[in-house]
Structure 1
Amino acid sequence: MPTSTAIKESNIDVLIIGAGPSGYMAALWLARCGIPTRIIDKRANEVFTGQADGLQSRSLEIFKSFSEDCFDWVTMDQAWKCANQMQEISFWSPNEDGIISRNSRIPDSIPGISRYTESVIHQGKIEEWFTESIKQFSGGKIQVERPYLPVSIKIDEDKKDAQDYAVEVLVKKLSGDAAKTEQFGSKVANGLFRAFDGDQDKYYGDGIGDEDPNDFEIIRAKYVLGCDGAHSWVRKQLDIEMEGEQTDFVWGVVDIVPITDFPDVRLRSAIHSKDHGAVMVIPRENDMVRLYIQLKEVDRDPSTSDAKREFVGKVDDKLAKTKGRIDRSKITPETILKQAKEIMAPYSIDMTDNTWYTAYQIGQRVANAFHKSNRVFIAGDACHTHSPKAGQGMNVSMQDTFNLGFKLALVCKGLAKQEILLTYEGERMKVARDLIAFDHKFSKLFSSKPQVPNAKILEGEAAGVEMDEFHQVFLQGSRFASGTISDYENSLLINKDGSTHKENSGDFNALASKVPIGQRLYSDQILGQCDHRPWHIADRMASDGRFRILIFAGDVKQYPENMETLNKFNDSLMGPKSFVTKYTPVNAFYNSVIDILTIHATLRNDIEFYDFPEFTRQKDFKKRTDYWSLFTGVGKTHADNVKVDIYETYGICKKAGAILILRPDSHVAEVVEFSVDGLKKVEAYFDAFMIDQSKNILPEKPLDVIDSDRFVKPKLAV
C-alpha cells in the first residue's frame, strides 16, 4: 500500500458508496438540501437495461415530491408519465382437466390508497432522471464518480462532534477495463454476474493491484452511506451479518417482445401450471414484457459446492450447499423461454427483441444492524434481500434512503442533534422484517405446486397450494407492497403518545381520526385562498428538507373564535421568541426550516385573503408576499366541479380543527389540538431534537439581488 503522505486527501460531509437506487435517492436528498456530497461507484458505466423495473405507489409519490412545477428539466415524475401503468392482475391456475385457465382479475393496486398505481419502467431510465435532478439541485457539483473502488474504511471513535470528519475511506481509481460491468456467457445483456454469491469478493480482490499513489485518495467524511448491493463491501467491513433463509428455488427472468396468443399478456398475470411450475407476466413500457419463470432443471457448478455463503441462517433445501452454485453458463434466454412455453400451454409464446435476462435464487435476509457508531450506514440491498416478484427491491431500497437522507441533511447543516440518525435503523429495520415475512409467504406460495380442483390425492402426495389462499396472501400484501403504510413508531421524530385509539391500520388521534400517526400523509386536494387553484396538498410539501406544520383552523366564519385563535398564534409565531425563529438561522428565509400552512374550512368566496393574520401570508426580505401558505380545504374546483373537503378526508371537525406536524419525508409526526396549548406542544416537539440557531448568522441578503433561481436552489436553512 502506498504511503499516506503521497496520497490525495479530501473532506466531504457525506460519502455515498454505490450508485444504485438507494445511493441515487440519498444523493438526490442531499443535493436538494445543499449538503456537500460525493457518490462513487465501482462500475465504469450506468445500468444499460434490465435489473429492477417495478415502481410502487409510494415511490411514485416520492418522485413527484422532487418534481415541482417550476422545474424546467426532465424531473423524477417522468417515471409516471413514461412507465407502463398497471391496472389489473389476472390469476391463472389448473382447471379440473389440469389446463391453465383464468380464475379472476382484480385491481393491481388497492383502489384509493394513492393517486398513483404500480408502474413498470427499467432502472436505467430512472437513474437518468436521478442524475439530471441531482445535477440541477447541486449546480453540477454532485455527480457519480466512476470507477472508484473503496479499499479501506476506518471510524475515529474519538471524534464525538457531529460535524467532525470522523470516517476515513481509502479509495482507488480503477481502469476502465477493470471496472467494466461483466456479462456472462451471452451476447444478450444479462445480470448473471451480479446475481450470485462470491463474485464481489473476487472483484474486490482483483481490483487492488497497482500501487501508484496517484490512483488512490483518502476521503474523510462526517458520514458514510453504503448502498453497494447485496454483497456489500461496506457491510462486511462493519462486521454486520445477514440473517435469514436461502431457498433452492431458481427463477429465470427475461425481457422480450412476446409473440403469443395468451390473452392476458398485457396484464400482470400470475400463472401456475399443473406440473411445470409458475410464471409471472409483467407488461412493460412500449411493447415489452418481462417474464419471471420458475426453472425446474438447473445445472450446478460442482467446484462451488463448498463455497462460503455470506449469511447466517437456515437453507430450505438441505442439499443446497453441497449442490454448489448455479452453472450460469448453462442459462440462456432460450432455456428460460422453453420453461415458459411448458407453463403457458396450451397457449403459445415465442420471443423477439430479447434485451436482457438473468437468473437468481430466492433468499430472504435482513442485516442485524443498519449502522456502525452512528457514522456509517447501510441501505437497500446491503441490508435486506428478497425475491423480486412483489416488486419491492428498488422501492424499499429508495425508501430506506428517503428516510435517512433528510436526517443526514438536518445534522450536517447543524440544525438537529445527531441522535435523530438513530431513528433510521429502528424505522427501516421494522419495514425490512415485515417485507421479509411477506416475501417469504408470497414466494413460497408462488413457487409451490398448485392444487388441481377435484383431483385425487395419492397417499403420501402433497395436496398442493390452494389458489384461493394465494389470492388472499396477494391481496393482504398489496397494501404493504404499495409502500404507503410504512408505520414508524415512537422516537425523537414521532410522537404517538397523544393518540386516542389504535386500529389495524395504525394509531390515531380523534382530532384527525383518519390520519394515522407515523405514516405518510395521504394526499387530497385543497384550494388556494388567493387564486382558487386546486393543489394536492402533497405538492405543496415538496421534498426539500423542511418540516411542515399544518394548521387546520376550521370554519373561521361560522366559528369566529377560530379566527381569534389564529390571531393569538400570530403573536407567538411572529415574535422574536418564536420557536420558528429559534430554529431558523439568522437572515435565512423565515420558512426555510419550518414551513407553516394554514388550511381553513370556510368557502373561499366568503372570506378575504387579508382577513387572516400576518403569519399566514408572511413577507420576505424584499417584502414579497407568500400567497401559497393559505388555503381552504372545502369547496369545488372550477374546471371539473369536483368536491373538495380535506376535513372529511382526514376526519377533522370543522369547529374543533387540529394541528398536524409533518416530517420532511411527509410522515405524520404528531397531531395536537388547534389551540394555544396545542401550539406549545408543537414547540415542545421541536425542542426535543432541534438546535438553537440564534448564533448561526448568515450573510444578509442584498435587496438588489435577482434570486428567481431560489425555487430550484436548496431551500433548507438558506
Structure 2
Amino acid sequence: MSREDLVDIECVDVLIVGGGPVGLITAYQLARNLPNPTHRMKIIEKYAKSSQDQYGRAITLFPRSSEMLDQLGLAESLAQQCFACRQTVNYDRYGEEVPGRGWSFMEDMKDTKWDFALVLRQKYQEEIFRQSLAREGVELESPWELKGIEILDGVGPNGYKIIGGLEQTETGEKRVVKSKYLIGADGGRSFVRRAMNIPFDGSSSEDKWVRVDGIIETDLPKPRTYCAIESPTHGNVLWAALDHGATRIGYAFTAERQKAYKEFDEEAAVREAIASVKPFSLKFTQVDWWTIYVVGQRIARQFFVKDCVFLAGDACHTHSSGAAQGMNTGMHDAVNLGWKLSLVLEGKAHPDLLRTYEAERLPNVQRLINYDKDISRLMTMQLPENWQGDPNADPNEVLGRVMAEAATFSSGLGIFYESDAYLNLPQASHLSSIQPGQRAPDVSLQKPATFEATRLQTETPNLACFYIVLFAGDTTLTKPHLAAFTSAVSKIAWLRDASYPTDWLSIFDGPGGPSAYETLGGMPFGRVFYDANHSAHTRYGVSAKKGAVLVLRPDGWVGTVVQMGSDGAEALSQYFKRILVIGGQAKF
C-alpha cells in the first residue's frame, strides 16, 4: 500500500491494534487517565464485531487479575455475570476421587477478597470492557486493519514518529494514522510483531487439543466445579463449569484418536468429548462453540522496540491453555503498561519508565512458558522433556505436584517484579515483610468517625497515581517519628503538591477515637484509616512501635519502603525524582 493511496490523515498519541481484552483494558486505562481521550488515542480491530462476538476462547480470571480489574472499576460487572468457582475435584480413570491433584490449588487461593476463579467467557468480558471504554468516550473501531507501519527518523521526542496505514476491510477505505506510540495487542499472528521484525522464539508440538462449550446433561457427581478427569485415552481432561449454566470439556486429541477421522467436525468433537469423560455419561443439548488447536509455546524476543512500539498479550507470548493463564498474563501486560504510558503522555513521568514494561513483564512470561511446557506435556500423559525422576512415574501425579508448585504464580498472588535501582527500590526493607516488587496485600481497614469497614485496594484505585501509605503504628509510641517525618515532608513542598500523581493515606494501629486529630495530636497526612484489630500491620510485617512508609505503585505492587523520620522523607523524595518529572513537563 503506498502512502499516496491513503487520503484520510489522523494524529493520535497512541494507536492500539487489537480489540480483545488486552487491547480494550489498555485503551480503557488511557481513556480514563488522559484528558480528551478521543483526540489522544485510537483502538482498532480488523474483524467486524458480529464475527468476533462468539463463544469460547478464554474463560478464567484468577485472583490477582480480578484484583487489578477491581482497582480499575471493572470487576464488579464481571462478577455480576460470572460463575464463581471455589470447588475443584479430580477423578481417576475409574471415576474415583483423588484429592490433591489437578486444579486443587484453586481451593487454597487466600489472602484476597477475590478468592475464587472468576469464570466468564471472553465474549461477555469483551462486551463489558467495550461498554466501559465507550463510557469514557472511546469506541472500538472495526473492521479496520493495520496494513503498514513506518517509523520516521529525525522526529523530535514528542513528535508523531509512527505512520500507520489502515484499511476498512469491508469497504476498502484507506486512512493514515500518525502516532507517538503503537501497541500491538493483535494476537498470536500479530501483524505489528511481524512488521517490526521481532523474532518469536519457541516451537509448536505435534499435540492437538480440543475444547467444546455448551449445555450438558451428565451423571458426573460434581459437575459445577473445575474438574480434571484422568482419561487413559484423552489425557488429563478439563471439565470447567461456565457462566450462564454452560460447561467446557477439553481433551487431548491424540495421534491415535486422529486416525479415526478423515474430517474432524463438530459432531466428531462432541463424540470424542463423550468418550473423554468415561466412565461418566455426557450429552450435549446445545453446542455453543468448539475448536481444535496445536499446542506450543512462543515468546517475543522484545516487548518494546524503537522507543515507541509495544507488544502485549498473545502478540508477544503464546502458550497452551493447560494452566488457564493466557488471558491472565495478557491482563498483567495491559495493566503494567497502561499506567506507565498514561504518566509519560501526561508529562508527569520520565520516558525511561516505559522501559520497565519489558524488564518486568518478560521474566514473568518466561516463568509461565517454563511451567506451561511441563504442564502441557503432563496433560497429554507425557513426562516433562527434562524429567530426571522415575521414568515410570504417573504423569497425573507429577502434574498435581507441578500445579501445586506453580499455585501462587497461577493465582497471580505470588507474581513479583525484581528489585532494582529505579521502580522497585529497596531502601528500608527491614521495616516491612512486603518487599519492593511484591504485590501489596489487600487488608481490612476502618474509616474514621463512622468506623465503616473498607479495604486497602478499595481506597487505592488504579488511577495512574502512586499511594504513599503511612503505617503509623501505635501513635502513643511513634509520635516523635511521625512528627519528624511530617516536618521533613513539609519542607519538600512538591511532595504534598496535588498536581503530582501521588496520594497520601495514614493507617493508625488500633481502634479509632473520636477524631484523627486527637489520636495524632495534629492533622495527619491524607485520608485516615484505622487498623482496629492490628491485622493490616501484621500482614505487612510492620512493627506497631516503629511504623513504616510504603509506596504503592498505581498497579498495586510495592515500589519502596522508607522509615518514618527526616531520613524517610528524603528517601521518599529521591525515589520519586527517579520516576516523576519534578518542576515542569517532561521533554520527551
Question: What TM-score do the two structures reach when normalised by structure 1?
Answer: 0.75
Deviations 1:277-306 (A, max 9, x none): 331101111321101111125899xxxxxx
Q: Is the counterpart of residue 153 in structure 1 residue 152 in structure 2?
A: no
Structure 2 distance, partners of 1:6, 1:695, is: 34
Structure 2 distance, partners of 1:330, 1:357, is: 15
- CA gap 1:153/1:109 in 2 versus in 1, 3 angstroms: farther
Structure 2 unaligned spans of 5+: 384-389
1:387 is paired with a residue whose SS is coil
Report the Cα offset of residue 3 of structure 1. 5.2
The AA in structure 2 aligned to 1:578 is W
Match of 2:416 in 1: 487
- CA gap 1:580/1:153 in 2 versus in 1, 3 angstroms: farther
The AA in structure 1 aligned to 2:417 is Y
Match of 2:387 in 1: none
Match of 2:399 in 1: 470
Q: Of 561, 578, 584, which residue of structure 1 is paired with 2:494? A: 578
Structure 2 distance, partners of 1:50, 1:695, is: 46
Match of 1:102 in 2: 97
Report the Cα offset of residue 539 of structure 1. 0.7
- CA gap 1:468/1:677 in 2 versus in 1, 3 angstroms: same
- CA gap 1:44/1:536 in 2 versus in 1, 3 angstroms: same
Structure 2 distance, partners of 1:344, 1:299, is: 15
Q: Which structure 2 residues correspond to residues 57-456 of structure 1 after superposition, within 5 A? A: 57-67=63-73, 75-94=74-93, 99-104=94-99, 106=104, 108-116=106-114, 117-136=116-135, 138=136, 140=137, 142-161=138-157, 163-175=158-170, 215-297=173-255, 330-448=263-381
Report the Cα offset of residue 678 of structure 1. 0.8
- Structure with bigger helix share is 2
Structure 1 distance, partners of 2:460, 2:522, is: 21
1:595 is paired with a residue whose SS is strand
Match of 2:386 in 1: none
Report the Cα offset of residue 359 of structure 1. 0.9
Match of 2:430 in 1: 510
Contact 2:151–2:163 (CA<8 Å) still a contact in 1? yes
Q: Which structure 2 residues correspond to residues 608-687 of structure 1 after superposition, within 5 A? A: 608-609=516-517, 612=520, 616=524, 629-633=527-531, 635=532, 643=533, 645-687=535-577
Q: Is the counterpart of residue 540 in structure 1 residue 540 in structure 2?
A: no
1:549 is paired with a residue whose SS is strand
Contact 1:261–1:348 (CA<8 Å) still a contact in 2? yes
2:166 is paired with a residue whose SS is strand
Structure 2 distance, partners of 1:368, 1:121, is: 31
Structure 1 unaligned spans of 5+: 68-74, 177-209, 301-322, 451-460, 500-508, 582-589, 619-628, 636-642, 697-718
Structure 2 distance, partners of 1:605, 1:217, is: 63
- CA gap 1:29/1:220 in 2 versus in 1, 3 angstroms: same
- CA gap 1:660/1:231 in 2 versus in 1, 3 angstroms: same
The AA in structure 2 aligned to 1:511 is L
1:605 is paired with a residue whose SS is coil
Report the Cα offset of residue 243 of structure 1. 0.9
The AA in structure 1 aligned to 2:506 is T
Match of 2:54 in 1: 48
Structure 2 distance, partners of 1:338, 1:366, is: 34
- CA gap 1:348/1:5 in 2 versus in 1, 3 angstroms: closer
Report the Cα offset of residue 90 of structure 1. 1.6
Report the Cα offset of residue 495 of structure 1. 3.4
Structure 2 distance, partners of 1:559, 1:617, is: 15
Match of 1:198 in 2: none
Q: Which structure 2 residues correspond to residues 537-616 of structure 1 after superposition, within 5 A? A: 537-565=456-484, 567-569=486-488, 571-572=490-491, 577-581=493-497, 590=498, 593-605=501-513, 608-609=516-517, 612=520, 616=524
Structure 1 distance, partners of 2:75, 2:283, is: 34
Q: Is the counterpart of residue 28 in structure 1 residue 28 in structure 2?
A: yes
Greater Cα shift, 537-546 or 591-600: 591-600
Q: Is the counterpart of residue 38 in structure 1 residue 38 in structure 2?
A: no
Structure 1 distance, partners of 2:512, 2:234, is: 63
The AA in structure 2 aligned to 1:516 is Q
- CA gap 1:6/1:274 in 2 versus in 1, 3 angstroms: closer
Structure 2 distance, partners of 1:3, 1:223, is: 19
- CA gap 1:648/1:520 in 2 versus in 1, 3 angstroms: same
Structure 2 distance, partners of 1:693, 1:391, is: 45
Structure 1 distance, partners of 2:239, 2:435, is: 34
The AA in structure 2 aligned to 1:63 is L
Contact 1:570–1:614 (CA<8 Å) still a contact in 2? no
- CA gap 1:399/1:276 in 2 versus in 1, 3 angstroms: closer
1:240 is paired with a residue whose SS is coil
Deviations 1:73-101 (A, max 9, x none): xx44221232111112222223xxxx342
Contact 2:447–2:530 (CA<8 Å) still a contact in 1? yes
Match of 1:305 in 2: none
1:290 is paired with a residue whose SS is strand
Greater Cα shift, 395-404 or 685-694: 685-694
- CA gap 1:33/1:109 in 2 versus in 1, 3 angstroms: farther
Contact 1:566–1:613 (CA<8 Å) still a contact in 2? no
1:330 is paired with a residue whose SS is coil
Report the Cα offset of residue 59 of structure 1. 1.2
- CA gap 1:531/1:240 in 2 versus in 1, 3 angstroms: same
- CA gap 1:543/1:406 in 2 versus in 1, 3 angstroms: same
Report the Cα offset of residue 21 of structure 1. 1.2
Structure 2 distance, partners of 1:493, 1:143, is: 36
1:286 is paired with a residue whose SS is helix
Structure 1 distance, partners of 2:416, 2:452, is: 32
Structure 1 distance, partners of 2:270, 2:250, is: 10
1:129 is paired with a residue whose SS is helix
1:688 is paired with a residue whose SS is helix
The AA in structure 1 aligned to 2:89 is S
Structure 2 distance, partners of 1:375, 1:548, is: 28
The AA in structure 1 aligned to 2:61 is L
Report the Cα offset of residue 666 of structure 1. 1.3
Report the Cα offset of residue 237 of structure 1. 0.4
Indicate the RMSD between aligned Cα atoms, in angstroms: 2.6
Structure 1 distance, partners of 2:124, 2:234, is: 34
The AA in structure 2 aligned to 1:369 is Q
Runs of 4+ in 1 over 4 A off after TM superposition: 297-300, 610-615
Structure 2 distance, partners of 1:4, 1:666, is: 46
- CA gap 1:238/1:520 in 2 versus in 1, 3 angstroms: same
Contact 2:83–2:119 (CA<8 Å) still a contact in 1? yes
- CA gap 1:56/1:3 in 2 versus in 1, 3 angstroms: closer
- CA gap 1:289/1:563 in 2 versus in 1, 3 angstroms: same
1:428 is paired with a residue whose SS is helix
Report the Cα offset of residue 497 of structure 1. 3.5
- CA gap 1:342/1:490 in 2 versus in 1, 3 angstroms: same
The AA in structure 1 aligned to 2:79 is W
Contact 2:516–2:528 (CA<8 Å) still a contact in 1? no
The AA in structure 1 aligned to 2:548 is A
- Identical counterparts, % of pairs: 26
The AA in structure 2 aligned to 1:526 is L
